[in-house]
Structure 1
Amino acid sequence: MPLDPAQLATLAAILRRGSFDRAAAELGVTQSAVSQRLRALEEQVGMVLVQRGPPATGTQAGARLAQHAEQLALLESRALHQIGQVERPGGQVSVAVNADSLATWFPEALARAQDSAPGLQFNLRVDDEGHSADWLREGRVMAAITATATPLRGCDAIFLGRMRYLATASPGFVARYFPVGLTPEAMARAPVLLFDAKDRLQDRWVDAHVAPTDLPPPPRHVMPSSEAFQQGARHGLAWGLNPELSVRADLASGALVELRPDTPVDVALYWQVSRLMRPGLAPLTDSLRQVALARLLPAEAPRTTAPAP
């Protein structure tokens, strides 16, 4: 039996807004109607779709069906625009993106996309570029900025460019921990920044540019924010690999210095987009390619390229 579009739209609104009353306000119906639609949909599919919260969150099945609903709405809006029935195509666009792109060049691309398609509304999920493809693989987003070059099943992978990272720290930190240079023993003592538990970029830089070591790992500060990560390095908390895009001013002013000049790590970024959704996401895809061309490095092989974790 086909799923009811109104019930699917209601499920998506509940998960997007985080509550039944806010979903009701968005849809212009009563809260009772929202509850009835969700109950009918759960009875039809035979499983719980929403954890009531607060906030209301989706079960795995609920999140998948809500994503399906938003995909249908986006494609329908584009089709209606093409036949002249709506002036501005739009809809909810869910994308997984790495934090460093979000903190540097990605918002410019979103703004350009909205200029050409003002009805688009963006719902972003932030994860490491080596793992953001999982969101797309599991059907929780329509597209992803990822380090995964091989197209996922049903997707196209478009090379965007290389994001360059530099190993940076404050001058005081370097003087304190590396008075005689970057020896393995000094690296084992010097605190290091990690974005999260999945972050291996710093370890790969040490292996490539200092030396692999069997010494105990150094103290590690987990800093799950690109801005805080850079601030931690600037204030002498630890060293870490920051995007060149975000630390140019600090390097020019001397607030940060490279631990070892001319030893960048470049991470290749790809736009993985569902082929089904590619027409609906065309304005975003076009703007991403334009901004990436201007902000990221081209495809020439760098000295040190970080593989996907």
Structure 2
Amino acid sequence: MDVDQFRAFVAVVDHGTFDAAARALHVTPSAISQRIKSLETVAGTVLVQRTKPVRPTERGLAVLRQARQLLHVADETVQRLRAPETSATGRIRIPIVVNADSIATWFAGAVTAIGTAGEVELEVRRDDEHVTADLLRSGEVMAAVTTEPRPVQGCSVRRLGAMTYRAKAARSFVRRWFPDGADNAALAEAPVVQFDRKDRMQIGLAERLGVTRAMPQTFVPDSTQFVAAVRAGVGWGMVPDLQDPRDALVTLDPTWTAEVTLHWQVWRVASDALDAVTAAVVSAAAGIR
């Protein structure tokens, strides 16, 4: 196995097609195909499914993380060896995954710090905080904001803090749906705003309170627009304190809360670039502790 084979493999997975990978690496599609075939020959197994988009096989996933780590170490080593006058022309690519509510609130500070430093090409992916660790296990990302406190194999983990969510609604919504106060009966009838079908925050609260019937739901898969829909009276929702710092919305019941503890998991490799990203994330997360 050699670096060019690994680089072709990662590029095909990231870009989805052999042609796109070829453009990214400035080579021909046939060169990409040959490198993938050579890698599969050495590995003794098929590593990618030739579909659109290209996807790694189960054994390909096992290789993917190691390939990313090898390439990261190689690229960072080259960066260190460059002459000072040329070192600023290249950046180390760091793919990470972060949950939507963090992106909409505290994580902006980390992006600013990393971006203005000019050393890292940051790729932020968005996914639910309960599944972000899966992308870390598969090797698709190098670090993750996750609710998983146990370190993924080959990673270190640290607690970032806890985001507090409260059941809230607009005043006009409360007057219409909770005129006598929020209780289980009224909650069963009132419309609710959901992030997406993986979002269990609102439904989980209703179930804990004994509400078993399906509530009218509106799905808004964007954190900022989710809160905007609640403010507009579309429905009630679990809103992070960070997105309603002045309590402009009405808290339905002070006991209807939830806390989501976030952790930062990152590859356990010697890397100045990863250390810089970690420092920026930890600093930005100080506001949620």
Say yes or no: TM over 0.5. yes
Summarize deviations over 1:244-300 as a string: whole Å, max 9, x none.
Answer: 222346x44xxx33223586433221111121266541010010111111x32x2xx
Count of residue correspondences: 286
8 Å contact kept, 1:167–1:239: yes
Normalised by the length of structure 2, the TM-score is 0.85
| Equivalent in the alignment of 1:110 | 111
Summarize deviations over 1:154-198 as a string: whole Å, max 9, x none.
Answer: 322112122222322222221221111111111111122232344
In angstroms, what is the RMSD of aligned CA positions?
Answer: 2.7
Hey, what's the Cα distance between the residues in 2 that align with 1:212 and 1:106?
32
Residue 78 of structure 1 pairs with residue 70 of structure 2 = no
Residue 219 of structure 1 pairs with residue 220 of structure 2 = no
Matched residue of 1:281: which SS? helix
| Equivalent in the alignment of 1:33 | 31
Matched residue of 1:196: which SS? coil
Q: Which runs of 5+ in 1 are unaligned?
A: 299-309
Sort the Cα spacing of 1:111 and 1:52 in 2 relative to 1 into closer, same or farther, 3 A. Answer: farther
Hey, what's the Cα distance between the residues in 2 that align with 1:74 and 1:281?
10
Matched residue of 1:156: which SS? strand
| Equivalent in the alignment of 1:260 | 253
Aligned-pair CA distance for 1:7: 1.1
Hey, what's the Cα distance between the residues in 2 that align with 1:229 and 1:64?
37
| Equivalent in the alignment of 1:125 | 125
Hey, what's the Cα distance between the residues in 1 that align with 2:19 and 2:119?
24
Hey, what's the Cα distance between the residues in 2 that align with 1:175 and 1:278?
55
Normalised by the length of structure 1, the TM-score is 0.80
Aligned-pair CA distance for 1:206: 4.6
| Equivalent in the alignment of 2:274 | 281
| Equivalent in the alignment of 1:143 | 143
Q: 45, 48, 56: which one pairs with 1:58?
A: 56
Aligned-pair CA distance for 1:20: 2.1
Hey, what's the Cα distance between the residues in 1 that align with 2:211 and 2:250?
27
Matched residue of 1:94: which SS? strand
8 Å contact kept, 2:73–2:271: no
Moved more, 130-139 or 177-186: 130-139
8 Å contact kept, 1:193–1:221: yes
Residue 69 of structure 1 pairs with residue 67 of structure 2 = yes
Hey, what's the Cα distance between the residues in 1 that align with 2:137 and 2:63?
15
Q: 280, 283, 289: which one pairs with 1:290?
A: 283
| Equivalent in the alignment of 2:100 | 99
Matched residue of 2:131: which SS? coil
Summarize deviations over 1:67-100 as a string: whole Å, max 9, x none.
Answer: 4333222222333444555724733322221111
Hey, what's the Cα distance between the residues in 2 that align with 1:14 and 1:197?
30
Summarize deviations over 1:176-224 as a string: whole Å, max 9, x none.
Answer: 21111111111111122232344332245456xxx72154242333433
Sort the Cα spacing of 1:39 and 1:81 in 2 relative to 1 into closer, same or farther, 3 A. Answer: closer
- Amino acid in the other structure paired with 2:111: L
Aligned-pair CA distance for 1:109: 0.6
Residue 161 of structure 1 pairs with residue 161 of structure 2 = yes
Matched residue of 1:115: which SS? helix
Matched residue of 1:153: which SS? coil
Summarize deviations over 1:221-251 as a string: whole Å, max 9, x none.
Answer: 34332133223212322211122222346x4
Hey, what's the Cα distance between the residues in 1 that align with 2:120 and 2:65?
15
8 Å contact kept, 2:95–2:141: yes
Identity %, equivalent residues: 36
Moved more, 232-241 or 273-282: 273-282
8 Å contact kept, 1:162–1:269: yes
Aligned-pair CA distance for 1:111: 2.8
8 Å contact kept, 2:76–2:271: no
Aligned-pair CA distance for 1:104: 1.9
